[in-house]
Amino acid sequence: MEASGLDKDLEKMFALNSERMEKMAVSGAVIDMSDPIRDLSLALHPPCLKLMISDVRQEIKGVRSYRLISSRRETGLPYFRAGQYLSLKAQINNKVVSRPYTISSAPYLSKNFYELTIAYKEGGFVSEYIWDSWQPGFEIIATGPHGNCYYDPLRDQPDLIALAGGSGIAPIRSLINEMIKTGKPRRMICLYGSRDEKNIIFQAELAELARQHPEQFTLIHVLSEPTASWQGYTGFITAEVLQKAIDDPLNYSYFICGPPEMSTFCLNSLAKLGIPRRSIRSEPTATADIPLTDNDQPQDNRNIFYAIQYTRREKTGMIKALAAETILTALERAGLNPDAQCRSGECGFCRALLLSGSVLIRKDGDGRRAADLEYGYIHTCSTYPLSDLQLIIT
């Protein structure tokens, strides 16, 4: 009886499979497993960067620039956009921690090196480690480049206003040098806030760039504690200062890079001028570095320890977390080596599912997407415990 329907189809399939196996057995051909698109993707976005300090340069007291090259000398460094950062991974006191640092060198130099410009912070867990350890030849691990605070001609105006404070000039320096090299963006006015003349980072370099390229780059210093001889702007970057320095504030896109309090102050100044939020890019700021206020959490509550029961990759455990520290910090202190990048609540790399308990999420660090909000996810880098918690760590 002749096979029909499904039986006939199966008979043909098995016959075809046998024919293929016979041809493969006699061909001796080697299957080409190369994937140039995959190789290019890994070169542009490697899962891990192995870097080495090649040079250390003192900029001003308490601020150094570190030049990083690839530890694998046969490979270059991935390209980045001015304003992006590296997430550094460091093992300190047997604990693995991460910190984001924005690249201060220009992208067109990335084939050869990156530069990070880092301010020393008294009592800073990571900055003290960097100051003590990072010497030429020292090797570090990082991921990235990461971040969305970069110039995009499809999104941003061709003319920019940069508002920088302290070491926040690092990404702006990168953007200035890239602009002068490529012509994109077209022009930038930089208002740079410093304490006094001695605390201006890259002072000679920025002055020379402004002198050589006046049609592209204008530099305006604003000093909060100037000497008696200072004749420029004083105080802070207020709406009044912006109105004096800029012809028409609505004709620009804005980039804010600096300490948390400076970023908040500048955002309020721009709001007074009617600048829409869509015209403003702001550098991610590690929310753990922003002191809690009594409006966030009463002082008496900050010294309480809570229990966090967690599940991670089918393993469960229990740790203690101080109410005044982010959940991410507690996980790092417990030696769990959690995934993290921006530490500002923006990227969501450290997200966790909150199964039970109460938390405090900083408004200035709540970058959760709608789906995270709907299904109960938190970003551990900007979230503080208010009770015992139960989490699933992704």
What's the average model confidence in pLDDT over 242-261? Answer: 88
Same domain? 109 vs 221: no
Radius of gyration of the chain (CA): 26
Same domain? 163 vs 142: no
Query: Domain holding 323: CATH number?
Result: 3.10.20.30
Cβ atoms of residues 140 and 53 within 8 Å: yes
Domain contains 370? yes
Q: How far apart are the first and last CA of the chain?
A: 58
What's the average model confidence in pLDDT over 53-72? Answer: 92
What's the average model confidence in pLDDT over 236-240? Answer: 89
Domain contains 7? no
Inform me whether the pLDDT recorded for 2 exceeds 70: no
Tokens (6 digits) for 351? 């997200």
Spatial distance between the Cα atoms of 299 and 292, rounded to a whole number of angstroms:
9
Confidence of residue 102 (pLDDT cuts 50, 70, 90): very high
Domain contains 5? no
Of the candidate ranges 68-72, 175-179, 212-216, the one whose mean pLDDT is the lowest:
68-72
Count of other CB atoms within 10 angstroms of residue 244: 10
Confidence of residue 29 (pLDDT cuts 50, 70, 90): low
Cα-flanking dihedrals φ and ψ of residue 175, to 5°?
A: -70, -40
Spatial distance between the Cα atoms of 329 and 349, rounded to a whole number of angstroms:
14
Same domain? 165 vs 278: yes
Pairing of strands 49-60, 95-102: unpaired
Same domain? 163 vs 273: yes
Spatial distance between the Cα atoms of 107 and 113, rounded to a whole number of angstroms:
9
Domain contains 59? yes
Spatial distance between the Cα atoms of 135 and 67, rounded to a whole number of angstroms:
10
Domain residues for the domain of 280 are 159-285
Cβ atoms of residues 191 and 239 within 8 Å: no
| Number of compact structural domains in the chain | 3
Tens-place pLDDT, residues 329-365: 888 888 888 888 888 877 888 889 999 999 988 777 7
Domain contains 172? yes
Domain contains 9? no
Inform me whether the pLDDT recorded for 72 exceeds 80: no
Domain contains 119? yes
Q: Indicate the average pLDDT of the chain.
A: 86
Cβ atoms of residues 352 and 378 within 8 Å: yes
Of the candidates 144, 382, 156, 163, which has an alpha carbon nearest to the alpha carbon of residue 279? Answer: 156
pLDDT computed for residue 13 by the predictor: 78
Same domain? 266 vs 351: no
Count of other CB atoms within 10 angstroms of residue 14: 10
Inform me whether the pLDDT recorded for 109 exceeds 60: yes
pLDDT computed for residue 329 by the predictor: 86
Spatial distance between the Cα atoms of 105 and 92, rounded to a whole number of angstroms:
27
Domain contains 19? no
Inform me whether the pLDDT recorded for 284 exceeds 90: no
User: Distances from the Cα of 343 to the Cαs of 263, 327, 381, in angstroms?
Assistant: 16, 11, 5
Same domain? 175 vs 120: no
**pTM beyond 0.95, yes or no:** no
Query: Domain holding 280: CATH number?
Result: 3.40.50.80
Indicate the residue among 285, 318, 347 that finishes a domain: 285
Inform me whether the pLDDT recorded for 3 exceeds 60: no
